[in-house]
Chain A
């Protein structure tokens, strides 16, 4: 079964960039997509976007357009999410999750990566 393991916590200054990784194992990496979801402290879940691994197609939430880039490295079965021009309200736990289609749902999820933006 698929397992997703994410990189460790990050502390960044406002205006900087962060790149979070999500390494997959247990299934053919190119057969599915990866979504990213974030959760600010004490808040709900926000879907950020997804990437279709086999062709690299992406679909980003409009509010993050221009600041987020999602990529994959099929040689290492790893997905990446880069967020630029960080602000304090980007402080959140960032999750990756496998896209399962027909019908669309997200399972499993990575363990989460805390990104703290602070001066």
Chain B
């Protein structure tokens, strides 16, 4: 199975900050990488697919980059509704494993 790691596991930030989350795969997955946002008690929401494609309806302050084993999710200017947990997921091969998540909370 492909192992996914994320860093940091949590971070504190202020509204308006630029936030970057890193995801690493245990082997090359090309650009088969998705990012999801989850708020407490809710289902995950797709933000980015294929490493850098913005899902329809997702604000443009979210962006993704990377290929191979190293990926990043960037929130250019953090908004109050962005305080959540973010998960990466590889869609390269089954089982389609997730990273452990990065919790973004209010500083």
Contacts and interface: CB of A to CB of B under 8 A. Distances in A.
A111 B95 CA distance: 22
**Does more than half of chain B's interface fall in helix, strand or loop, or is it mixed?**
loop
A11 interface: no
A95 B95 CA distance: 16
Q: How large is the interface on B (under 10, 10 to 19, 20 to 34, 35 or more residues)?
A: 20 to 34
Contacts, number: 59
Interface residues of A, number: 22
Given A44-B100, A45-B87, A105-B49, A61 B43 contact: no
B12 to A, nearest CB: 19
Given A44-B99, A46-B98, A104 B43 contact: no
A112 B96 CA distance: 19
A54 interface: no
B95 A47 contact: yes
A47 B43 contact: no
